[in-house]
Amino acid sequence: MEPKKKAITAAVVGTALGVGGLVVVAMPASAGSAPKLPQVSAEELVQSVAAAKPAAFDGTVTVSNDLGLPAMANAMPGAGALNVNSAHVYSDGAKNMKVALTKGTAQETIVHTGNTVWDYNSQTNSATKTTIPADVATKHGMTDGKAADPATAAKELLAKVRESSNVAVDGTATVADRPAYELVLTPKPTERTLLREIRIAVDSQTRMPLRLSVLSNGTTAPALELAFSQIEFAPQPADLFAFTPPKGAKVTEKQAKVDDKTKALANEAQASTKFVGDGWDTVVTGKVPADMLKAQPAQGERKGMDPQKMLSRFGKRVSGTWGSGYLFTTKVGGAVLTDDGRFAAGAVPEQVLYEALGAK
């Protein structure tokens, strides 16, 4: 399978299932009148998005989620990001970024400057300062801020899905009071996927993605829509990225490091991960570390956790020639975790997941 086709899974699963990683991608304004813009071909638009340089900006972001996820609160990694009401994002267009997330009455502020990351929670009045050593940052890509860069995230998604898609420009739109082109990616007819299309609203001037919509089959409204409701492209003052904990805040300092155990787990996960199929119906399979399925006792203020109870609460018990385990579904995809720790995930019907588990 070609590398670009293998990468489709990361794009689809990252967009549809691992949405927590894309919450700061770009989030949406209400629909406005369709502006008149010069015609542009789909290929020209794609190329201009890929070539666009990151811009400094100040923007307000919102998320609309109709994925059909169970009410699991923060029980699973990344799920808590779906409870964000809004986010205010500041970027200097280089390596500095500030994100203020609002969740009900609480606010979380994350500031990434150089090799330092501050994470402050207003509800607990506590802050964590993490210093990332240069060697760790270089080896693991922790200094470029790409994970939180809306333009970069959308560019990577576009690069990964276009190989197995029909790509077209479907008119124009107004997003965050800015004129934008509507870029639409639809799976080719041979693809077995739950997704109908992915739409990206691209700013007509900066070529920065302003809105990302994921639509599933049989629905008219997006299952997930992320977009800017307000954005201003302008240089950001340096002191904006200088964080000082509020008076009385409990501050914890730590240094990011990759220990031998973490390295071993990462190597094990990488060795067991493979891709089955290609295109939009690619399924990623692998095996989770055995420790992840064992009950974790309470330690200090940390509550104990029983993964098996969580699985039975949120998953559906299933079995087949591939074995037995739990099925988790959303409107845009699903995942199966077997009793012996194998998994399969993708934006596909459950039968495709079972086939992937049984593949040799």
| Predicted confidence (pLDDT) per residue in 320-359, tens digit | 999 999 999 888 889 999 999 999 999 999 999 999 998 8
Question: What's the burial of 291, exposed, middle or buried (CB within 10 Å: 0-12/13-18/19+)?
Answer: exposed
d(CA 226, CA 266): 30
Which amino acid appears at position 302 of this protein?
R
The residue that leads in pLDDT, 204 or 304, is: 204
Where are the domains positioned within the chain?
Answer: 10-253, 258-358
**In the block, residue with structure tokens 């970069």:** 152
Rounded CA separation 187/279 (Å): 8
Per-residue pLDDT tens digits for 136-157? 554 444 434 333 444 555 666 6
Q: Which residue has the higher pLDDT, 186 or 295?
A: 186
CB atoms near residue 235 (< 10 Å): 11
The vertex-302 CA angle with 296 and 308, nearest 5°, equals: 30
Do 261 and 336 touch, CB atoms closer than 8 A? no
pLDDT of residue 231: 95
Q: What tokens appear for 195 in the block?
A: 């997704």
**CATH numeric code, 10-253:** 2.50.20.10
pLDDT averaged over the chain?
78
Please name the residue that has the structure tokens 């502006």.
35
Q: Answer with the residue of higher pLDDT: 81 or 261.
A: 261
Look at the block and give the residue holding tokens 């490091």.
Answer: 257
Q: What is the pLDDT of residue 21?
A: 31
Beta carbons of 267 and 124 less than 8 angstroms apart:
no
Q: In what order do the strands lie in the sheet with 274-276?
A: 274-276, 283-287, 342-346, 333-338, 323-330, 316-320
Cα R_g (the chain), whole angstroms: 21
> What is the DSSP annotation of 85-130?
-EEEEEE-SSS-EEEEEEETTEEEEEEEETTEEEEEETTTTEEEEE
Q: Looking up tokens 């077209």, which residue turns up?
A: 168
E strand or H helix that includes residue 148: none
Residue 191 phi, psi (nearest 5): -80, 135
Residue 220 three-state SS: coil
End-to-end CA distance of the chain: 15
C-alpha 303/C-alpha 311 separation (Å) is 17
Query: Above 80 in pLDDT, residue 237?
Result: yes
Residue 351: its H or E element: helix 350-358
Residue entry with tokens 């990694």: 77
Please state, in angstroms and rounded to a whole number, the distance separating the CA atoms of residues 101 and 309.
30
Predicted confidence (pLDDT) at residue 77 exceeds the cutoff of 80? no
Name every residue whose Cβ is closer than 8 Å to that of residue 146 and which is 6 or more positions away in sequence.
152, 153
Specify the DSSP class assigned to residue 20.
Answer: G
Please give the Cα distance from 181 to 209 (Å, whole number): 9
